[in-house]
Amino acid sequence: MKKVLRILKQIRNLNLGPNIEDAANESLHSKKLAIEAIEYVEAGAKSAAQPGVVINRIWAMPNRWTFKIKPIAEIVKRYVGSGVGWIDPFAGMNSPAEITNDLNPERQAIYHLHAKDFALFLGTEYNGVLFDPPYSLRQVRECYDEMGIALLSQEDTNLFPNNIKEIIAPKIREGGHALSFGWNTIGFGIGLGFKLKEILLVCHGGKHNDTIVTVEEKQVTTVNMFEGKLFNFANCFSER
């Protein structure tokens, strides 16, 4: 935007003078500048092109318990409401979801299972999922250390937490939501039937990583009669 402003100021300050030849040269120059500005804006629009995705950035104090961070508590409240029909496989201490789980028996959750066992045990047609696992292998180790679990399984080392997302994704109803928390915006992704809706970047300053909230909506799918495959309408329209 600064570049566009600079170009517009240059155009405004062009001296068209009384001489016709000078004026013609100057107006040609101003046209070139205008084209440069348009191309700059269009390139920016293309690079940000994710129609309908809302991206916000805000500063807030960090907190070990994600849902205690003020702007995160607000976005969670906005989507989860009373929590009815929501699931949370990594509930920690503050989950508003109706059906909560946390491996650590000292956390506030209904179930204390490994997230994979919890995901397998769940039914179907949930309104949404809060997905706030440990954000790195190091954090997984720290959680396990707290519980006195010495060894990480190969699955936890190599596939976690995507293996849990794969089990949960089909259990969320169409139009339901997935709110993922972490250091990236991978979320559940279109491959698991979710469309990106909103991103909240929470900057904590200092040496802290941002906490990123990724909000996605489960897409409407139907069975493709010819191949018996699940067919995603959203993909169909975006490919046109």
The dihedral built from the CA positions of residue 55, 56, 62 and 67, taken in this order, carries a sign that is: negative
Per-residue contact string for residues 115-134; x = within reach of ligand SAM by CB under 6 A: x----------------xxx
**Quick one: tokens of 90?**
């990594």
Q: Choose the binding region for ligand SAM from 43-51, 64-72, 192-200, 229-237 (rule: CB under 6 A).
A: 64-72
85: burial class by Cβ within 10 Å (0-12, 13-18, 19+)? middle
Determine if 171 is a binding residue for ligand SAM (CB under 6 A): no
Contacts of 23 (CB under 8 A, 6+ apart): 16, 17
Name the residue with the smallest CB distance to ligand SAM. Answer: 92
Rounded-to-integer distance, Cα 230 and Cα 174, Å? 13
Determine if 66 is a binding residue for ligand SAM (CB under 6 A): yes
Please identify, using beta-carbon distances, which residue of 125 and 146 lies nearer to ligand SAM: 146
Determine if 71 is a binding residue for ligand SAM (CB under 6 A): no
Of residues 73-112, those binding ligand SAM (CB under 6 A):
89-90, 92-95, 102-104, 107
Rounded-to-integer distance, Cα 92 and Cα 206, Å? 25
Interacting residues with ligand SAM (CB under 6 A): 65-67, 89-90, 92-95, 102-104, 107, 114-115, 132-134, 140, 143
